[in-house]
């Protein structure tokens, strides 16, 4: 396995390269993305993983400072998973002190995480485009847990004519339903025991939607199941899965909808979502 920390050391691929962009602290959810990337690359292709805690996508300095960075463990996991190339640059290798250009998304990022984390998705789009330019993959793999991010990256490659195919992998969960996340390790034992209520509440909405056709009624019922003395709901929204705009009336019950949430346990922010079939 080749490990690069300097962008100048990278060269264009001489075989089909598929990329898994990560911020490290790799867990089984990331490894599901890696397996999908290997399938997409094929036996003769090249599997690449980037490990970079992107500072410009964090809206809270404390969250950036506390983000886990177990690089040696991550590299070992990559070796065991058969990764061919790891790109793990320091921040100053990715961003020059006088940088003045970034990517700005104006539609899909106005709701959900974009509404409560100003500038977050500009940081995501900027770093992903840089990774695509540096590593030149033919495809890249993202998880559906970060549904809004996935939608925005798809829009990025569409609108900027980036020749990278975007592949998606369903959310990988712990045995109790909690969506796998690098942030889970920062939960206290009590918080960790409580957090699976998020997925239970979202999943229950599939059967609730026919009896709660008004979006406000459905959201109120789900919120009541999510809330506990240990958490604080950052947002809970029902949106169109394509436009990510809020569903405000039951006028189109024949369309699917995305129920998305972000919940704080102390300083740890967990996101999850559930696609609801037509009512």
Residue 31's pLDDT is what?
97
- Helices (H), ranges, the chain: 28-41, 61-66, 71-80, 91-94, 112-116, 120-135, 147-159, 189-194, 197-208, 215-226
| pLDDT-derived band at 253, boundaries 50, 70, 90 | low
Residue 166's pLDDT is what?
98
pTM of the model: 0.94
Residue 225's pLDDT is what?
98
Answer yes or no: is pLDDT of 251 > 70.
Answer: no
CATH number assigned to the domain with residue range 182-276, chosen from the 4 options 3.40.50.970, 2.60.40.10, 3.30.1300.10, 1.10.300.10? 3.30.1300.10
Average confidence (pLDDT) over 251-259 = 81
Q: How far apart are CA 75 and CA 25, in angstroms?
A: 10
| pLDDT-derived band at 12, boundaries 50, 70, 90 | confident
Distances (CA, A) of 9 to 4, 88, 89, 91, 223: 7, 12, 11, 16, 49
pLDDT in tens, 35-93: 999 999 999 999 999 999 999 999 889 899 989 999 999 999 999 999 999 999 999 99
| Phi, psi torsion values for 140, nearest 5 degrees | -140, 150
Residue 248's pLDDT is what?
79
CA geometry: angle 191, 195, 201, nearest 5 deg:
150
Residue 9's pLDDT is what?
87
Residue 58's pLDDT is what?
92
Nearest to 218 by CA among 170, 279, 145: 279
Nearest to 19 by CA among 171, 175, 163, 131: 131
| pLDDT-derived band at 11, boundaries 50, 70, 90 | confident
* DSSP-assigned letter for residue 18: E
Q: Are 142 and 153 contacting, i.e. CB atoms less than 8 angstroms apart?
A: yes
Nearest to 16 by CA among 81, 74, 85: 85
Q: Are 258 and 239 contacting, i.e. CB atoms less than 8 angstroms apart?
A: yes
Q: How far apart are CA 54 and CA 157, in angstroms?
A: 19
pLDDT in tens, 151-199: 999 999 999 999 999 999 999 999 999 999 999 999 999 999 999 999 9
* DSSP-assigned letter for residue 186: G
pLDDT in tens, 240-249: 999 999 997 7
Assigned token pair, 93: 């290798």
227 half-sphere exposure, CB direction, 13 A CA radius: 11
Average confidence (pLDDT) over 227-251 = 92
Q: Is 30 a catalytic residue?
A: yes
Domain spanning 2-169: which superfamily? HUPs (3.40.50.620)
CB atoms within 10 A of CB 7: 15
Catalytic residue among 27, 30, 104, 120: 30
Assigned token pair, 75: 């590299």
Q: Is 180 helix (H, G, I), strand (E, B) or coil?
A: coil
The residues that bridge with 211 in the sheet, in sequence order, are none
Q: Are 117 and 243 contacting, i.e. CB atoms less than 8 angstroms apart?
A: no
| pLDDT-derived band at 255, boundaries 50, 70, 90 | confident
Q: In the chain, where are the structural domains located?
A: 2-169, 182-276
Q: How far apart are CA 134 and CA 156, in angstroms?
A: 16
Residue 268's pLDDT is what?
95
pLDDT in tens, 102-114: 999 999 999 999 9
């Amino acid at each position: 396995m080749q490990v690069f920390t300097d962008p100048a050391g990278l060269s264009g691929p001489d075989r089909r390269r598929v990329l898994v962009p990560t911020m490290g602290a790799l867990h089984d959810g990331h490894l599901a993305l890696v397996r999908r990337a290997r399938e997409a690359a094929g036996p003769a292709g090249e599997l690449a993983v980037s490990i970079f805690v992107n500072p410009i996508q964090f809206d809270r300095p404390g969250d950036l400072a506390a983000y886990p960075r177990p690089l040696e463990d991550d590299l070992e996991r990559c070796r065991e998973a058969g990764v061919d190339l790891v790109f793990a640059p320091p921040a100053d290798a990715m961003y020059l002190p006088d940088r003045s250009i970034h990517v700005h998304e104006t539609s899909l990022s106005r709701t959900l995480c974009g509404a409560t984390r100003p500038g977050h998705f500009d940081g995501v789009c900027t770093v992903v485009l840089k990774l695509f330019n540096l590593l030149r993959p033919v495809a890249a793999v993202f998880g559906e847990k970060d549904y809004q991010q996935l939608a925005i990256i798809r829009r990025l490659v569409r609108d900027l004519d980036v020749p990278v195919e975007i592949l998606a992998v369903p959310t990988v969960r712990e045995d109790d339903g909690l969506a796998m996340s690098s942030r889970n390790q920062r939960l206290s034992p009590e918080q960790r025991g409580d957090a699976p209520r998020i997925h239970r509440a979202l999943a229950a909405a599939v059967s609730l939607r026919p009896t709660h056709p008004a979006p406000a009624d459905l959201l109120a019922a789900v919120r009541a199941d999510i809330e506990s003395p240990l958490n604080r709901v950052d947002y809970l929204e029902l949106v169109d899965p394509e436009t990510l705009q809020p569903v405000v009336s039951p006028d189109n019950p024949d369309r699917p909808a995305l129920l998305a949430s972000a919940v704080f346990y102390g300083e740890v922010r967990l996101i999850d979502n559930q696609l609801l079939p037509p009512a």
